[in-house]
Amino acid sequence: MWRALLTVSALELRTRLRDGTAIVIALIVPVTLATLFGLALGGDDPPLRATIGLVDLDGGEFPASVRREVTAAEELKGSVTLRDLPGDREARRALDAGEIGAAIVFPAGFSARVGAGEGGDVTVLTSAGSPLAGVVASAVVDRISAVVDARTLAVRAALLAGVPGDEVKELVERNGAAGPALTLTGDPLAGGKVDLAVYYGSGMAALFAFFVVGASFRSLLTERKLGTLDRMRAGPLAAWVPVAGKAVVGFGLAMVSVCATWASGTLIFGSTWGEPLAVLTVLTAHVLAAAAITMLVAARVRTDAQADGVIMVISFVAAFLGGSLVPLHSLPGPLQTVALLTPNGWTATALAELAGSGAGVSAVAGPVGVLLAIALGAGGLAVLGFRKGMLL
């Protein structure tokens, strides 16, 4: 049966290469558009000049240390500024208004509780519109957490050893856990240069993945019209072979397309999309979702011309709403929510996270999981549709 599958795939690939659609749609157009968008609109993402709100309800040494370190950090000079805000509500309001990109909230009594070995919680407010600010704020809080953990452990150890409560602070600080020794290095910004060329490049990759993979499922309907599909189905081969043979080629060409767009963006603009394995994982999940959705279209329409129209509409709507044409943070708030109904929205979110933070696969497990769920759901419905439409 594998030989039959390869035979179908070989003919599909040969047809796609011979009629030129594979080269044009998979390579030339997405790479060209991504490059043109990058040249015309590229540059540093506005969040690189983000403002982080600081809500100091504590008044203790920890917030003071944060203010001191952020102001002093060379890595953040000129790009991240702190703005003091009186309370949590004001911080949220400023965040919603786009006046700040993220906020760190120290609750009242935080430093005192940490000093007593009780630990404490710091809240970070983030906005999808300013991923870099969120990354910096989260990194700062991660540092605080490490210091708090060390301090809490030391205090508890001292108390257990019988040191009187009023002497613990002095003892702990004298022996190394001296206050909130917060230091900010370049780490929070590793891989964090989110260039708009990355947004547009990944957007074009996400958009054209639909067209490339959709063309293979469309050809299934062309074969039905031609009668060759019935000839195959009447032959001694499993019903899934024609569909799978074309799906393999569509998936492969779409992967080539997204990777070529990714590579061209990196080479031309010198911008990184993030940790390669993680980016590849996201792109693979996106192509799978696009394949399943276009397969569902092919299963539901009657003719290849209908498939063309429906795939085009779905691709562009998903691209626009999902941040492939306009960066997600530039969309109005309600549309940013709607974006999460599209695979493009999850792909854009995941790639922005990777480009901004330099994180690995685990950081985008959620979006990848959603993309795979879309692939499974749409793929399942497509198989049912194919059976009903006598393609399987």
Partner 1 sequence: MAAMTAALSCLGLGKRYGDLVAVDDVGLSIAGGQAYGLLGPNGAGKTTTISMLVGLLRPDAGTVLVGGVDLAREPLRAKARIGYVPQEIALYPELTGRENLRFFGRLFGLPRRGLAARIAEVLDLIGLTDRADGKLGAYSGGMKRRVNIGAALLHRPQVLILDEPTVGVDPQSRKAILDGLEHLVADGMALLYTSHYMEEVERVCDRVAIIDHGRIVADGTRRELVSLVGGADTVELVLDGDVGAAFEKLRAVEGVSEAARTGDTSVRLLADGGRYLLPSLITAVEGHATVTATQVVEPDLEATFLHLTGTTLRD
Pick from 4, 112, 159, 340 the residue near partner 1 by CB under 8 A. Answer: 4
What distance in Å separates the CA atoms of residue 242 and residue 12, rounded to the nearest whole number? 10
159 CB neighbour count, 10 Å cutoff: 14
Smallest separation (angstroms) from partner 1 to the CB of 303: 15
The smaller minimum CB distance to partner 1, of residues 15 and 81, is found at 15
User: Quick check: 93 binds partner 1 (CB under 8 A)?
Assistant: no
**Touching partner 1, residues 220-259 (CB under 8 A):** 226-228, 230-238
User: Quick check: 359 binds partner 1 (CB under 8 A)?
Assistant: no
User: Quick check: 40 binds partner 1 (CB under 8 A)?
Assistant: no
Distance of CA 117 to CAs 7, 122, 137, Å? Answer: 69, 15, 24
User: Quick check: 309 binds partner 1 (CB under 8 A)?
Assistant: no
The smaller minimum CB distance to partner 1, of residues 18 and 332, is found at 18
The smaller minimum CB distance to partner 1, of residues 67 and 233, is found at 233
For the stretch 62-66, contacts whose Cβ atoms lie closer than 8 Å and that sit 24 or more positions apart, written own/partner, are 62/106, 62/110, 62/111, 62/114, 62/144, 62/147, 62/148, 62/180, 62/182, 63/106, 63/110, 63/111, 65/179, 65/180, 65/181, 65/182, 66/104, 66/140, 66/144, 66/182
* Stretch binding partner 1 (CB under 8 A), from 1-9, 60-68, 294-302, 355-363: 1-9
3-state helix, strand, coil in the chain (%, to 5): 70, 5, 25
User: Quick check: 312 binds partner 1 (CB under 8 A)?
Assistant: no
E-only strand ranges, the chain: 51-56, 81-85, 102-106, 123-126
Residue with tokens 């009242």: 108
**Touching partner 1, residues 5-34 (CB under 8 A):** 7-8, 11, 15, 18
Helix axes 196-226, 240-269, angle to 10 degrees: 160
Give me the DSSP letters along 311-345. HHHHHHHHHHHTTSSS-GGGS-HHHHHHGGGSHHH
* Stretch binding partner 1 (CB under 8 A), from 2-10, 56-64, 147-155, 305-313: 2-10
Is 50 strand, coil or helix?
coil
The smaller minimum CB distance to partner 1, of residues 241 and 378, is found at 241
The smaller minimum CB distance to partner 1, of residues 99 and 230, is found at 230
The smaller minimum CB distance to partner 1, of residues 20 and 366, is found at 20
DSSP H helix total and E strand total for the chain = 16, 4
Smallest separation (angstroms) from partner 1 to the CB of 310: 25
Contact mark string toward partner 1, 188..227, x via CB under 8 A: --------------------------------------xx
Smallest separation (angstroms) from partner 1 to the CB of 302: 16
Smallest separation (angstroms) from partner 1 to the CB of 3: 7
**Cα-Cα-Cα-Cα dihedral sign, residues 279, 308, 324, 377:** negative
Size of interface with partner 1, in residues (CB under 8 A): 20
* Stretch binding partner 1 (CB under 8 A), from 4-12, 200-208, 270-278, 292-300: 4-12
Task: Note the residues at the interface with partner 1 (CB under 8 A).
Answer: 3-4, 7-8, 11, 15, 18, 226-228, 230-238, 390
